[in-house]
């Protein structure tokens, strides 16, 4: 029966019994006792039943009602069913409409006869039990009444609203089965089933005629003077055209768009592939709208988006989770009629105007987050977290909160995706991360996709890889360092094309912008780091938080961990550190020229600024650093009394930022490698390319620093040994790589003159690298060592082997320094030997005999140097050194030096006038103006430190090594000299490295490839003049 006076729907117990006898399975669920007062007495309803299908016969045909719920009248055994007023309203019944239609028929109705047509004379009318009016006693409060009405209307779905709730319920029941597999108890399963059946109308699996979410529609505002833009239809593949036809037809059928061929605005759709298509070829892609031209003409909506890392930090203590995903996200959000035309889109079928918020709109993200705050505001941060249309609930009373959230969805008309929701789990995927009670990790599918990505061929592919990896950098220790080469490659491309947009970068092939071994190594290092990604723990307020920072020449890093209370007093190796976050960065621009202590101080300040949400806590945190770094921040003049005012002001700002934190300083001496020990626990740090000075010192401290050349087991290579390995290679039919046997010494020699070393002679190759790099070779750089080897020997992987050898040299690690580019400007350039003489004093540690300085003299053309140990940096010493140079090589008439008192004085001036020379003084405080000698100063310091370390000598012993350093600087081949050594270029003497002692002079006299065709014309001329005209005066 249809009863417009009934407040709810009612079914007699007899109906349920009859259906049960027929073998029908009924969905009956218990409910809290609800008191209903029919005519004559009160009744308490304790059960509710939901019928999958109820058919009503009409004159126009059957009307199907799906998922119709009734309260069960327990003491009524009849076959009566009452459909109450809420369902009648949903079906379209209106008392006012009925009376209006009746008045149209006639304004005056006589009903006296009709009332008694079916009554016997004298009989009193009897109330039919099933037609009794139901009303609540005592009267329901408004919210209770609304609750009952919503309960009925949410499940009664006529066929005129084609939402298939049967399919929805099937998916929801599967979710219950999954929850049981995840450990949900039997009582919990029953409760979850009840909640999902009662709230089933809040879920969807396909588009339906659902109204938008009941919130204020999104309205955008155009900028002043904005003109309409109308894109032309794009060319789509046949498959994409078929999808667009299906998709737009579905949007039209459900009222989400309408055709609007007169729209002045139109944007083109973009078809985006979904990951589901990889496993299901029949799955549809996603349609987005390219609204960039429209976005440029609208005012952006301000809204404070939450920081995802901060939001995730609130998950501490949660053991069980459920995740809710909106169905078709933005398509549920209303779009204001005044803004609908702006986001019209054009396809090959015409122009469509949306009535809901499309994806790609500037304000869509902010508006969506605002809707989330409006609907779930009081739940957020307590038992629920939300990031746009992804919601996660973490309360221990999980099912109670689930019911609250679904009730809120029902109140606002928000629909959820039945397939993508998870209702009980100990580990869930949310916002691309795996959340569990143990901590947070990134989604394995995303990580695997990056790891399996092929090496990029275009800059667009490289940008895509870098951006994806950057999103995970908080779980990657030292990300900035290992990815630096990739960012440098992108910077080079951006400078070439003048843009960082992907469509522009995709036009550039990486091989055209110097993509080489360094970039490939960086790419592989990032992929390796992704495989070793560190899981992050949830912040625990009962634990101690620790901050570790570190800085090197080019990079800085920070790690925040937490420890169980009391473990900080134990040795580091025994502490149970649980990482919370990693940070890293790169020093560029002016920051790259900061002092080491300033860089280390910056790492502390920047880490506290960016990780404030972890470090601002009542118990404070423990800061592990060298105490000198904090002294530098809080009392800069105690460290550097000559510091400029602007630098001191900057440090004062840093100090103010640190004063807002409460922390305990754990002093870590600079030579203790806490950072490396910490990272090694999580598999990081093995691919370091440029170690921090403290790390280098720590590594050297545990290695016996002895020269390989002085090792008793070291065997000096010989010509006989080389011939033996060559013969063995020929007998094994190895590739000779073009080498031919000489008639003189029977050695295999390349056409360019180098002695060929077989590929399998690994031990021999390593010993040759030792000779070319260590000892008297002075531990020069990789290029210099490579050039020395290439002048005598050849093997295919020589460049790679030398780079690896020099990179792993422990002595060089302690002395390595970066390249310092000097500003552009004019400088004096020599075109022949002994034309310009540069000189400068280099301050050293006091050595044996009280020697404190080295006077460096350098020929401007060849780079030949002399190093003179001095007790004092005086004019007399300088004059004597100049005279010694002139008496050996002749007078130089052009001198270059700084304006130090030891050079700019009467003694030096008298010598200058006596010889008829010119003395050029460089501008004060511009050492790069005399940069050619400053480079020598750095090389002297580097070689000296390496040799002292190698030979295990005290620092005071450096004067004894000065001749060795001078010989190393003068004998190593140089690129700018076409492969010749400074000694050869200056004196025409053969010179050479220690390698020349291995071979017979007859082999060394063979012509070698000099590579001078790549050098400048001037150098080639000078070099040729040096070699072919020995009669000229030097």
Q: Residue 89's pLDDT is what?
A: 74
pLDDT tens for residues 431-478? 667 777 677 776 666 677 677 777 888 888 888 888 878 777 777 777
Q: CA–CA separation, 560 vs 198, rounded Å?
A: 46
Confidence band of 1002 (pLDDT split at 50, 70, 90)? low
Query: Among 25-39, 528-542, 633-647, where is mean pLDDT lowest?
Result: 633-647
Q: Residue 836's pLDDT is what?
A: 92
Which tokens go with 762? 């690994």
Residue 508 pLDDT > 60:
yes
Q: CA–CA separation, 632 vs 805, rounded Å?
A: 37
3-class SS of residue 740: strand
Domain assignments of the chain as residue spans, ordered by start: 10-105+131-159, 177-428, 441-531, 544-701, 708-813, 837-1006
**The 3-state secondary structure of 260-328, one letter per residue:** CCCCCCEEEEEEECCCHHHHCCCCCCEEEEECHHHHCCECCCCCCCCCHHHHHHHHCCCCCEEEEEECC
Mean pLDDT on 946-951 = 75
Q: Residue 112's pLDDT is what?
A: 58
Q: Residue 857's pLDDT is what?
A: 94
Most confident by average pLDDT, 141-145, 261-265, 362-366, 443-447: 261-265
DSSP bridge pairs for 838: 858, 896
Residue 126 pLDDT > 50:
no
pLDDT tens for residues 952-967? 777 788 888 899 888 8
Sole residue written with tokens 């109330």: 127
Mean pLDDT on 293-306 = 77
Query: Among 17-21, 47-51, 990-994, where is mean pLDDT lowest?
Result: 990-994
Rounded-to-5 percentages of helix, strand, coil across the chain = 45, 20, 40
Residue, of 614 and 697, whose pLDDT is higher: 614
Closest listed residue to residue 675, CA positions, set 582, 814, 594, 564: 582
Which tokens go with 819? 């390249």
Q: Residue 551's pLDDT is what?
A: 82
Dihedral (Cα; 805, 811, 812, 817), 10-degree rounding = 160
Residue 655 pLDDT > 80:
no
Confidence band of 163 (pLDDT split at 50, 70, 90)? low
Q: Residue 980's pLDDT is what?
A: 82
Q: How far, in Å, are 201, 203, 205, 402, 909 from residue 166 at the CA level? A: 10, 11, 10, 21, 104
Closest listed residue to residue 920, CA positions, set 906, 937, 904, 936: 904
Q: Residue 839's pLDDT is what?
A: 93
- Identify the H or E element spanning 482: helix 479-482
Q: Residue 837's pLDDT is what?
A: 92
Q: Residue 701's pLDDT is what?
A: 31
Q: CA–CA separation, 91 vs 84, rounded Å?
A: 11
Q: CA–CA separation, 584 vs 979, rounded Å?
A: 40
Query: Among 374-388, 590-604, 930-944, 994-1008, where is mean pLDDT lowest?
Result: 994-1008
Residue, of 1002 and 590, whose pLDDT is higher: 590
Confidence band of 883 (pLDDT split at 50, 70, 90)? very high
Sole residue written with tokens 């020697």: 851
pLDDT tens for residues 832-853? 899 999 999 988 888 888 899 9
Topology of the domain comprising 837-1006: Nucleotidyltransferase; domain 5 (3.30.420)
Q: Residue 278's pLDDT is what?
A: 73
3-class SS of residue 72: strand
Residue 866 pLDDT > 90:
yes
Q: Residue 152's pLDDT is what?
A: 38
Q: Residue 368's pLDDT is what?
A: 83
pLDDT tens for residues 327-356? 887 888 899 999 999 999 999 889 999 999
**The 3-state secondary structure of 852-909, one letter per residue:** CEEEEEEECCCCCEEEEEECCCCHHHHHHHHHHHHHHHCCCCEEEECCCCCCCCHHHH
pLDDT tens for residues 481-505? 888 888 888 888 888 888 888 778 8
Q: Residue 870's pLDDT is what?
A: 92
Q: CA–CA separation, 601 vs 586, rounded Å?
A: 14
Residue 378 and residue 280 in contact, taking contact as beta carbons nearer than 8 Å: no
Residue 372 pLDDT > 60:
yes
Q: Residue 821's pLDDT is what?
A: 57
Confidence band of 679 (pLDDT split at 50, 70, 90)? low
Q: What are phi and psi of 566, to 5 degrees?
A: 95, -15
Closest listed residue to residue 470, CA positions, set 453, 482, 456: 482
Q: CA–CA separation, 611 vs 621, rounded Å?
A: 12
Q: CA–CA separation, 940 vs 854, rounded Å?
A: 9
Mean pLDDT on 502-531 = 83
Q: CA–CA separation, 578 vs 8, rounded Å?
A: 56
Residue, of 274 and 909, whose pLDDT is higher: 909
Which tokens go with 883? 């005279």
Q: How far, in Å, are 370, 477, 854 from residue 338 at the CA level? A: 20, 50, 80
Residue 154 and residue 201 in contact, taking contact as beta carbons nearer than 8 Å: yes
Q: CA–CA separation, 730 vs 740, rounded Å?
A: 11
Residue 704 pLDDT > 60:
no
Q: How far, in Å, are 159, 318, 323, 332, 965 from residue 388 at the CA level? A: 32, 21, 13, 13, 65
Q: CA–CA separation, 549 vs 625, rounded Å?
A: 7
Angle in degrees, CA 492, 495, 500, rounded to 5: 95
Residue 856 pLDDT > 90:
yes
CATH class of segment(s) 708-813: mainly alpha
Closest listed residue to residue 403, CA positions, set 188, 628, 157: 188
In this prediction the pTM is 0.44
Residue, of 30 and 243, whose pLDDT is higher: 243
Q: Find out if CATH 3.30.1330.50 is the number for domain 177-428.
A: no
- The alpha carbon dihedral of 970, 971, 974, 979 has a sign of positive
The packing angle between helices 762-773 and 719-731, to 10°, is: 150
pLDDT tens for residues 395-433? 446 778 888 888 888 888 888 888 888 888 777 776 667
Residue 62 pLDDT > 60:
yes
pLDDT tens for residues 274-286? 777 777 777 788 8
Residue 478's CB is within 10 A of a number of other CB atoms, namely 26
Residue 129 pLDDT > 70:
no
Residue 155 and residue 50 in contact, taking contact as beta carbons nearer than 8 Å: yes
Topology of the domain comprising 544-701: Ubiquitin-like (UB roll) (3.10.20)
Q: What percent of the chain has pLDDT over 70?
A: 74
Q: What are phi and psi of 449, to 5 degrees?
A: -60, -40
The 8 Å CB, 24+ separation contacts for 120-127 are 127/39
Query: Among 93-102, 675-684, 876-885, where is mean pLDDT lowest?
Result: 675-684
pLDDT tens for residues 184-241? 888 888 888 888 888 888 888 887 778 888 989 988 889 888 899 988 888 888 888 9
Mean pLDDT, the chain, rounded, equals 75
Q: Residue 879's pLDDT is what?
A: 94
Q: How far, in Å, are 486, 764, 858, 991 from residue 788 at the CA level? A: 30, 16, 21, 12
Q: Residue 891's pLDDT is what?
A: 92
Q: Residue 678's pLDDT is what?
A: 54
Mean pLDDT on 978-993 = 80
Q: What percent of the chain has pLDDT over 90?
A: 7
Residue 74 pLDDT > 70:
yes
């Amino acid at each position: 029966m249809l009863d417009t006076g009934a407040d709810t729907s009612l079914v007699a117990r007899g109906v349920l019994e009859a259906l049960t006898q027929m073998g029908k399975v009924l969905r009956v669920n218990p409910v809290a006792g609800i008191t209903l007062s029919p005519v004559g007495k009160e009744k308490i309803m304790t059960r509710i039943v939901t019928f999958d299908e109820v058919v009503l016969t009409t004159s126009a045909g059957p009307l199907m009602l799906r998922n119709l719920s009734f309260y069960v009248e327990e003491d009524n055994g009849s076959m009566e069913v009452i459909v109450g007023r809420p369902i009648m309203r949903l079906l379209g019944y209106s008392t006012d409409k009925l009376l209006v239609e009746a008045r149209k028929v006639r304004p005056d109705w006589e009903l006296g006869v009709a009332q008694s047509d079916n009554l016997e004379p004298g009989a009193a009318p009897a109330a039919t039990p099933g037609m009794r009016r139901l009303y609540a006693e005592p009267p329901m409060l408004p919210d209770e009444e609304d609750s009952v009405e919503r309960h009925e209307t949410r499940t009664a779905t006529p066929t005129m609203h084609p939402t298939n709730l049967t399919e929805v319920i099937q998916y929801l029941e599967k979710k219950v089965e999954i929850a049981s597999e995840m450990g949900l108890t039997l009582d919990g399963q029953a409760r979850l089933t009840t909640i999902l059946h009662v709230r089933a109308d809040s879920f969807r699996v396909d588009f339906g005629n659902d109204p938008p979410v009941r919130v204020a529609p999104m309205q955008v505002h155009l900028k002043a003077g904005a003109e309409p833009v109308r894109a032309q239809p794009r060319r789509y593949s046949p498959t994409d055209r078929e999808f667009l036809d299906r998709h737009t037809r579905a949007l039209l059928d459900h009222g989400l768009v309408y055709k609007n061929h007169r729209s002045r605005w139109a944007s083109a759709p973009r078809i985006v592939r979904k990951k589901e298509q990889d496993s299901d070829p029949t799955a549809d892609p996603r349609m987005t709208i390219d609204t960039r031209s429209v976005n440029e003409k609208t005012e952006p909506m301000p809204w404070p988006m939450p920081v995802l890392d901060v939001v995730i930090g609130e998950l501490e203590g949660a053991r069980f989770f459920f995740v809710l995903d909106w169905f078709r996200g933005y398509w549920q959000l209303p779009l204001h009629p005044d803004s609908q035309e702006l986001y019209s889109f054009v396809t090959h079928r015409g122009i469509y105007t949306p009535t809901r918020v499309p994806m790609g709109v500037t304000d869509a993200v902010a508006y969506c987050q605002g809707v989330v705050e409006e609907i779930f505001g009081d739940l957020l941060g307590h038992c629920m977290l939300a990031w746009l249309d992804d919601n996660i609930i973490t309360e221990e009373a999980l099912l109670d909160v689930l019911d609250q959230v679904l009730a809120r969805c029902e109140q606002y008309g928000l629909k959820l995706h039945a397939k993508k929701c998870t209702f009980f789990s100990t580990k869930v995927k949310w916002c691309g991360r795996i959340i569990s009670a143990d901590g947070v990790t990134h989604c394995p599918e995303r990580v695997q996709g990056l790891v399996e990505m092929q090496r990029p061929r275009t800059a667009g592919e490289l940008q895509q890889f870098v951006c994806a990896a950057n999103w995970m950098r908080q779980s990657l220790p030292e990300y900035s360092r290992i990815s630096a080469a990739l960012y440098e490659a992108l910077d080079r491309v951006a400078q070439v094309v003048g843009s960082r947009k992907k469509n522009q970068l995709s036009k550039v092939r990486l091989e055209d912008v110097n993509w080489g071994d360094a970039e490939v190594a960086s790419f592989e290092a990032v992929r390796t780091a992704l495989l070793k990604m560190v899981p992050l723990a949830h912040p625990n307020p009962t634990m101690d938080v620790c901050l570790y920072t570190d800085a090197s020449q080019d990079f800085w890093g920070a790690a925040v961990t937490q420890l169980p209370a009391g473990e900080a007093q134990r040795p580091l190796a025994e502490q149970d550190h649980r990482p919370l976050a990693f940070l890293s960065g790169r020093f560029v621009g002016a920051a790259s020229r900061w002092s080491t202590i300033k860089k280390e101080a910056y790492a502390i300040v920047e880490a506290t600024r960016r990780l404030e949400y972890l470090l601002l806590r009542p118990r404070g945190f423990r800061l592990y650093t060298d105490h000198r770094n904090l002294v530098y921040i809080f009392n800069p003049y105690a460290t550097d009394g000559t510091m400029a005012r602007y630098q001191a002001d900057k440090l004062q700002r840093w100090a103010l930022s640190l004063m807002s934190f409460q922390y305990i300083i754990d002093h870590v001496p600079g030579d203790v490698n806490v950072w490396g020990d910490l990272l090694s626990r999580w598999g990081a740090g093995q691919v370091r390319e440029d170690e921090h000075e403290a790390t280098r010192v720590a590594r050297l401290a545990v290695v016996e620093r002895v020269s390989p050349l002085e090792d008793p087991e070291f065997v000096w290579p010989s010509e006989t040994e080389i011939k033996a390995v060559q013969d063995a290679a020929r007998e094994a039919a190895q590739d000779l790589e073009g080498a031919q046997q000489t008639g003189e010494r029977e050695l295999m020699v390349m056409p360019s003159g180098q002695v060929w070393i077989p590929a399998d002679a690994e031990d021999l190759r390593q010993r040759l690298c030792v000779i070319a790099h260590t000892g008297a070779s002075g531990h020069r750089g990789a290029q210099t060592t490579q050039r020395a080897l290439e002048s005598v020997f050849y093997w295919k992987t020589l460049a790679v082997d030398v780079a690896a050898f020099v990179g792993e040299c422990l002595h060089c690690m302690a002395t390595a320094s970066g390249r310092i580019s000097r500003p552009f400007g004019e400088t004096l350039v020599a075109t022949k030997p002994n034309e310009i003489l540069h000189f400068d004093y280099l301050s050293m540690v006091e050595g044996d005999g009280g020697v404190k300085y080295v006077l460096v003299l350098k020929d401007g053309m060849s780079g030949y140097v002399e190093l003179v140990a001095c007790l004092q940096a005086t004019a007399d010493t300088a004059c004597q050194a100049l005279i010694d140079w002139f008496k050996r090589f002749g007078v130089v008439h052009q001198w270059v030096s700084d304006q130090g008192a030891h050079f700019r004085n009467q003694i030096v001036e008298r010598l200058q006038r006596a010889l008829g020379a010119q003395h050029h003084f460089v501008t004060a405080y511009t050492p790069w103006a005399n940069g050619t000698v400053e480079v020598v100063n750095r090389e002297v310091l580097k070689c000296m430190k390496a040799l002292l370390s190698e030979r295990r000598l005290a620092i005071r012993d450096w004067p004894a090594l000065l001749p060795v350093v001078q010989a190393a600087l003068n004998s190593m081949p140089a690129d700018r000299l076409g492969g010749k050594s400074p000694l050869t270029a200056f004196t025409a003497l053969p010179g050479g490295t220690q390698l020349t002692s291995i071979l017979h002079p007859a082999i060394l006299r063979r012509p070698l490839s000099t590579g001078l065709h790549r050098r400048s014309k001037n150098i080639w001329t000078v070099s040729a003049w040096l070699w072919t005209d020995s009669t000229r005066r030097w």
